[in-house]
Chain A
Amino acid sequence: MEQTPRVPLKSIYRVFFEIGLFSFGGAVSGWIQREVVEVRKWMSHEDFLSGIALAQIMPGANATNSAVYVGQRLRGIAGAATALTAMMTGPFVAILVAAMTYQTFMKLPGFPQAMIGTAAAAVGMLLRTSVTSARVSARGLVPALVMAVTFVAVGIFRFPLLAVICVVAPVSVGLAFWASERRR
């Protein structure tokens, strides 16, 4: 069992509160990856990305599933509860305030456009972190092919996500197992 540094719950709360509050446009995984893997180095790229795959296979919102996975990995049940609560605090308050003031704000000229710009910036950040993950996880021909097939099937052909994972994941895992057997 590898040793992971014990991350304070307060730090988990702060990071996920911030991620939740600014998670416009649904671009959350990239941000979690940036904070948790790249800036704070709480977990490895592989650990995070395999967790993302698990979080996406499971039903529910990807953002909250990813938060639960990372929180649990860092601090068990307390970590998972902290990350989930922290991530939902900001959006919960924001969406109620927005619903109450919506009529006023949306009539302000340029406001909807500014919100679209904010969402676009969030997507831009996700694009950048996804390219980083792609580079890290596509070392070697087989992982690169697996990644490309998943991307094309889900992103371009829009095949059902669950079906794609059920086909691609066993092949990818099987090949990884075979490769590790051969290396021994």
Chain B
Amino acid sequence: MTILQASFIAVGVVFFVAAALAVFRIVRGPSILDRMIATDMLVATLICTFAAEMVYSGHTRSLTIMLILAMVAFIATVAVTRYVSKQDPS
């Protein structure tokens, strides 16, 4: 195993830990807003991971998936926050 490969694995592990922390926040909550934020972050980490994998294996096929994720990721957040704001007027 070369140093290059080892560093790629390290990068992968770091992304994994970041995603795991986001999942931890989704599970723990406590409010639906926290879960939304964490979901957003999970998607962003996913986009980054796709990119890292593309660099590692030297192809560009995942670009479209990254693009679509980047485009639709925020729609869910906006929908949920609208719902939360309406349901709980203060």
The answer to whether A and B belong to the same complex is: no
